[in-house]
Amino acid sequence: MRAMVIERTGGPEQLVAAEVPVPTRVGSEVLVRVLAAGVNRVDAEARAGLGDSAGVPVFPAVLGHDFSGVVVEVPYAAHALHVGDAVYGMAPFPRAGGSYAEYVSVPSSSVARKPATLSHVEAAGVPLAALTAWGMVVDVAKAHEGQRILVHAGAGGVGHFAVQIAAYFGAHVVATGSQRNAGWLRELGAAEVVDYDAVDLERTVRDVDVVVTLVDDVAVAEASLRVLRPGGVVVHAPTASYAGASVAAEAAGVRTTGFAVSPDAATLSVIARLLDSGDLRVYVDDVYDLDEAADAHTRLERCHTRGKLVLRVADE
């Protein structure tokens, strides 16, 4: 099959097209013909040999976690999914991946029915980012009415889901983003938008119950501690800014935690219902062909994507 692989870690130029064997489906896995693959910052980190993904690849490594496509093989006849079903999902993270390819074989617990109203390109932009947002905002923060949640980088892949999900559950959402995204963030459900370039966060925002940090910046992490009410919590997605911040959090009388996303078919099914009902939207900023994955990584690493980037693997 056609795939985008890396032979070694490094810059986006390490991503090259190659012919590799179709993965063999084993155990409870489902084999999926991939029509589109979402691009995530964690893919770029795996490519560069950074973060949780450092040292994970066995070369040549097929990168990519998010996919949308069609079931080709199921583990057993009575399985809930059938050959030909349209599905979306997330390959295990960070140790395995493999969605930048024509086929991917993933545990049944990683794959759910695709939202019916979305194209495969749109659906491929959802899994890892929406599961991260759900995990931080619902599982950890327990988003609810009367709660004030600050989302740093509200316009990004994870952020645009976090803003919507927090607002859906009734929280008062404050989002940081650049001026060009302010109106859009309000449309997504942010009650307040803070232009991180122009405004001093600590002068503008206070008494926050939960900060969702999606920016890998120690200064942002430290400023976050000072906008929380006593006992509030910072939930960090980027692992790099967490270690230093945890000590400072204790001194400031607030709490802090990291977060690590897992594939979760049950939550993806709930997310699919919200997407189909229109309560949740995915924004795809740009679409690249599979063999343009390096261009997509270069764009992503400029850190100003609105929503998601997606690779088109095959025609729908």
Footprint of ligand NAP on this chain (CB under 6 A)? 40-42, 128-129, 132, 152-153, 155-159, 176-178, 181, 196, 214-217, 220, 237-238, 259-261, 300, 303-306
Nearer CB in complex with ligand NAP: 74/220: 220
Q: Nearest distance from residue 60's CB to ligand NAP, in Å?
A: 23
Nearer CB in complex with ligand NAP: 85/217: 217
The CA distances from residue 130 to 12, 33, 148, 192, 225, in Å, are: 24, 22, 20, 21, 25
Nearer CB in complex with ligand NAP: 74/188: 188
- Kindly provide the residue ranges of all beta strands, DSSP E only, lying in 40-125, ordered along the sequence: 61-62, 66-73, 86-90, 103-107, 111-113
Query: By Cβ distance, which residue is nearest to ligand NAP?
Result: 156
DSSP annotation string for 61-78: EE---EEEEEEEE-SSTT
Nearer CB in complex with ligand NAP: 40/105: 40
How far, in whole angstroms, is CA 202 from its chain's centroid?
27
Alpha helices by DSSP H, listed for 81-156, are 120-124, 127-134
Q: Which two tokens stand for residue 9?
A: 């870690």
Q: Nearest distance from residue 69's CB to ligand NAP, in Å?
A: 21
Q: Nearest distance from residue 228's CB to ligand NAP, in Å?
A: 17
Q: Nearest distance from residue 307's CB to ligand NAP, in Å?
A: 7
Q: Nearest distance from residue 250's CB to ligand NAP, in Å?
A: 21
Q: Nearest distance from residue 158's CB to ligand NAP, in Å?
A: 3
Contact 95, 110 (CB under 8 A): no
Cβ neighbourhood burial of 220 (10 Å; 0-12, 13-18, 19+)? buried
Q: Nearest distance from residue 115's CB to ligand NAP, in Å?
A: 20
Nearer CB in complex with ligand NAP: 128/221: 128
Nearer CB in complex with ligand NAP: 130/313: 130
State the DSSP code for 143.
-
Beta bridge partners of 234: 211, 256
Nearer CB in complex with ligand NAP: 52/85: 52
Question: Could you give the 3-state DSSP secondary structure of residue 107?
Answer: strand
Backbone angles phi, psi at 140, to 5 degrees: -90, -55
